[in-house]
Amino acid sequence: MINILFAAKPERWTTYEAPLRSALAAAGIEAHLSQDIAPDQVDYIVYAPNSDLQDFTPYTRAKAVLNLWAGVEQITGNQTLKIPLARMVDPGLTKGMVEWVTGHVMRYHLGMDAHIVNPSHGWTVKTPPLAQEREVVIFGLGALGTACAQALLGLGFRVTGWSRSSKDVAGVTCLNGEDGLADALRRAEIAVTLLPDTPATTNLFNEETLAQMPRGAFLINPGRGPLIDDDALIAALDAGQIAHATLDVFRVEPLPQEHPFWAHPLVTVTPHIAAETRASTASEVIVENIKRGEQGADFINLVDCTLGY
The parent domain of residue 208 ranges over 93-269
Task: For the beta carbon of residue 299, count every other beta carbon within 10 angstroms.
Answer: 17
| Max Cα distance, the chain (Å) | 72
Pair 186, 124 in one domain: yes
**In b/e form, how buried is each residue of 85-118, taking b as 16+ CB within 10 angstroms?**
bbbbbbebbbebbbebbbebbbbbbeeeeeeeee
Buried b or exposed e, range 235-257, using 16+ CB within 10 angstroms: ebbeeebbbbbbbbbbeeeebee
For residues 273 and 161, what is the distance between their CA atoms, to the nearest angstrom? 23
* pTM to 2 decimal places: 0.86
Residues 203 and 58 in one domain: no
| 136 in any annotated domain | yes
Residue 90 and residue 23: Cα distance in Å, rounded?
A: 14
Main-chain phi, psi angles of 167, to 5 degrees: -130, 160
My answer on whether 262 and 200 are in the same domain is yes
For the beta carbon of residue 30, count every other beta carbon within 10 angstroms.
8
Q: What is the pLDDT of residue 258?
A: 97
Q: Residue 65: what are its φ and ψ, rounded to 5°?
A: -105, 125
- Tell me, yes or no, whether 56 and 128 share the same domain: no
Helices (H), the chain: 10-26, 91-110, 113-116, 143-154, 177-187, 207-211, 230-238, 279-295
Question: Which is nearest to 204 in space by CA: 227, 222, 182?
Answer: 227
Label residue 307 left, alpha or beta by phi (over 0 means left) and psi (-120 to 50 means alpha). Answer: alpha
Q: For the chain, how many structural domains are there in total?
A: 2
Q: Nearest-CA neighbor of 47 among 1, 78, 89, 86?
A: 86
Instruction: Say whether both 74 and 179 belong to one domain.
Output: no
pLDDT (0 to 100) of residue 277: 85
Residue 305 lies in a domain: no
Q: What is the pLDDT of residue 119?
A: 63
Q: Do 187 and 214 lie in a common domain?
A: yes
Nearest-angstrom CA–CA distance, 115 and 237: 21
**In degrees to the nearest 10, what's the CA dihedral of 262, 9, 296, 285?**
-50
Is residue 134 in a domain? yes
At what angle are helices 279-295 and 10-26 packed, to 10 degrees? 60
Bridge partners, residue 34, by sequence: 5
Q: Is residue 304 part of a domain?
A: no
Asked whether residue 306 is assigned to any structural domain, the reply reads no
What is the domain-level CATH number for residue 13?
3.40.50.720
Residues 196, 136 share a domain = yes
Give me the pLDDT at residue 120, please.
65
Which are the catalytic amino acids? Answer: 224, 272
Q: Identify whether residues 51 and 112 lie together within a single domain.
A: no
Q: Is residue 309 part of a domain?
A: no
**pLDDT in the model for residue 276:** 84
137 in the same domain as 28: no
- C-beta atoms surrounding 142 within 10 Å: 19
pLDDT per residue of the chain (309 residues) written in tens, 0 to 9:
999 999 999 999 999 999 999 999 999 999 999 999 999 999 999 999 999 999 999 999 999 999 999 889 999 999 999 999 999 999 889 999 999 999 999 999 999 998 887 666 677 788 999 999 999 999 999 999 999 999 999 999 999 999 999 999 999 999 999 999 999 999 999 999 999 999 999 999 999 999 999 999 999 999 999 999 999 999 999 999 999 999 999 999 999 999 999 999 999 999 999 988 889 999 999 999 999 999 999 999 999 998 888
Q: How far apart are CA 248 and CA 180, in angstroms?
A: 26
Q: Quick check: 70 and 31 in contact, CB under 8 A?
A: no
Q: Are 55 and 110 found together in one domain? A: no
Cβ partners under 8 Å of residue 212, min gap 6: 182, 185, 186
Q: Are residues 187 and 104 in the same domain?
A: yes
| 24 & 119 share domain | no
In a domain, 57, yes or no: yes
Q: What is the pLDDT of residue 121?
A: 67
